[in-house]
Structure 1
């Protein structure tokens, strides 16, 4: 596994912790057709997804990245291809961030799956959902959170790093960061090419953004003084982070 080499020598303002950008891959051909692609090989971005991926270059222009980690699947690698080329970074391919193994559901139309008994379990009690011939959503969360925390420890304090993965995988990571039971993860929305931002500390994660599809990156940078692991009573002051 190749680690990304940082090219920006300038460091963001000290916060004592790393900042993680969770990026869902841009829209794929399967998204556009309403098919559950799962781990099917050869599923790349569609025309809309290509434009979304290109737009990342400008959206993240002011954000220094010390590492880019990607699911091994084509649609994720295509999403970050332009970004890592511009930054001269070698992406880390992380198997634990791969799409859910949907087993026998792979390749089927989502509209056809809504009549399955398992569909209700996936919606209402996802921690108990195990896809026939595939894996369970609880397994997905376990592997993904382990990978995230491992990479976060490795990148070092005050660094910003980016992870590109899939909707259900990112939702499971966000549920963990928010302190939610996995059964609540369907309440989280993660659109194609959206970014969510988490900062892990010694005592708790702080979730800064969820499902951001806009162009403002100011919330991605650590503040000069984040307060470490302590939450600010009454909420943050909203002072300038610059």
Structure 2
């Protein structure tokens, strides 16, 4: 037996008053609004009667904090998987609107299809799909929740949908505390649903942490 479904949950809003791209930088926690968003995702899974039997999260603070209310709802202790982490990025700690106008940073923008400012898309896709497969294969039954970040989740979506990995970062369909659900199909996975349980909170949110 193996897991039934995999739910990819993005973290909630991050406390980021300086509006920098935080990437893997330490100390970036959920805002008060982000905690409410994470709670909304947890409630959505419970209300759907998802048979969650396991929760695995990226090691970063914001994902650990987003996993906590899901763990509380389902009485599970979240695990950790380094492969679910946000990609490293040349622009970490910078305000993007200013950084892209600085000629010293233009070398990092020379090929957005890789992209040259951070971990290659093919690498993100490979490690995320490996984490998804291992979670599915090593869980005897029930659903698995993987708490991760916007770009890694979008790479999974793009890969299983068979669409090109290079994309416009502004057009990702992966809102704060959204839930992207996969099921096994043959030797791979298919996406079966996307939900945005925190949509009602999003108008007050700031989301500038990913590129």
TM-score, structure 2 length as denominator? 0.80
How many matched pairs?
191
Q: Which residue matches 2:95?
A: 109
| Alignment partners' CA distance in 2, 1:17 and 1:84 | 17
Q: Which residue matches 1:75?
A: 62
Asked if residue 121 in structure 1 is aligned to residue 111 in structure 2, the reply is: yes
Asked if residue 194 in structure 1 is aligned to residue 181 in structure 2, the reply is: no
Kept in 2, the 8 Å contact 1:175–1:185? The answer is no
Indicate the SS of the match to 1:164. strand
Larger Rg: 1
Q: CA deviation at 1:90?
A: 1.6
Asked if residue 180 in structure 1 is aligned to residue 163 in structure 2, the reply is: yes
Q: Which fold has the larger relative contact order, with Cα–Cα distance below 8 Å and residues 6 or more apart in sequence? A: 2
CA deviation digits over 1:179-214, x for unaligned, max 9? 12212474532111011111122244221123x213
CA deviation digits over 1:221-242, x for unaligned, max 9? xxxxxxxxxxxxxxxxxxxxxx
- Label 1:17 to 1:73 Cα distance change in 2 as closer, same or farther (>3 A): closer
Matches within 5 A, 1:134-153: 135-153=119-137
Q: Which residue matches 2:9?
A: 23
Q: CA deviation at 1:48?
A: 1.2
Q: Which residue matches 1:208?
A: 192
Q: Which residue matches 1:50?
A: 35
- Label 1:198 to 1:161 Cα distance change in 2 as closer, same or farther (>3 A): same
| Alignment partners' CA distance in 1, 2:168 and 2:128 | 14
* RMSD of aligned Cα (Å): 2.4
Kept in 2, the 8 Å contact 1:67–1:161? The answer is yes
CA deviation digits over 1:107-149, x for unaligned, max 9? 1112124445444733xx1xx2133xx5333222221111111
Q: CA deviation at 1:35?
A: 1.6
Q: CA deviation at 1:85?
A: 2.3
- Equivalent of 1:170, from 142, 149, 153? 153
Kept in 1, the 8 Å contact 2:154–2:173? The answer is yes
| Alignment partners' CA distance in 2, 1:205 and 1:167 | 19
| Alignment partners' CA distance in 2, 1:90 and 1:119 | 40
Structure 2, unmatched stretches of 5+, are 199-211
Structure 1, unmatched stretches of 5+, are 1-13, 216-242
| Alignment partners' CA distance in 2, 1:112 and 1:35 | 10
Q: CA deviation at 1:34?
A: 3.0
